[in-house]
Amino acid sequence: MPIFRYHCQHCEADFELLLPRFDSPAECPSCGANDPERQPSLIGAIAAGNKHNCASAGQCPAAGHCCSGSCGCGKH
């Protein structure tokens, strides 16, 4: 099941939902609005033990803002 990020324009809440399908209806958990705006999701993975300088190589999955420096990017 995919996880989707949403922003509610009614109450300004940002949240994530685990939904069974891409076209499943979403509801804001804060105010109950049934029309939250789907936000782009950032997906990235860093292999354990892979401590190279991926930010300077242009390969950091979070553009140098990941893992609080634990991925070895050197740019955090």
pLDDT in tens, 2-51: 889 999 999 999 999 998 888 899 999 999 999 999 998 766 555 555 45
Total number of domains in the chain: 2
Same domain? For 58 and 36 the reply is: no
C-alpha span between 8 and 26 (Å, rounded): 10
pLDDT at residue number 14? 96
Averaged pLDDT, 48-59: 53
Same domain? For 35 and 66 the reply is: no
Same domain? For 56 and 29 the reply is: no
Same domain? For 35 and 59 the reply is: no
pLDDT at residue number 58? 57
pLDDT at residue number 2? 81
Residue 58's domain spans which residues? 44-76
pLDDT at residue number 75? 46
Task: Please give the backbone phi and psi of residue 46, each rounded to the nearest 5 degrees, phi first.
Answer: -125, 125
Helices (H) and strands (E) in the chain, counts: 0, 3
How many other CB atoms sit within 10 Å of the CB of residue 35?
Answer: 12
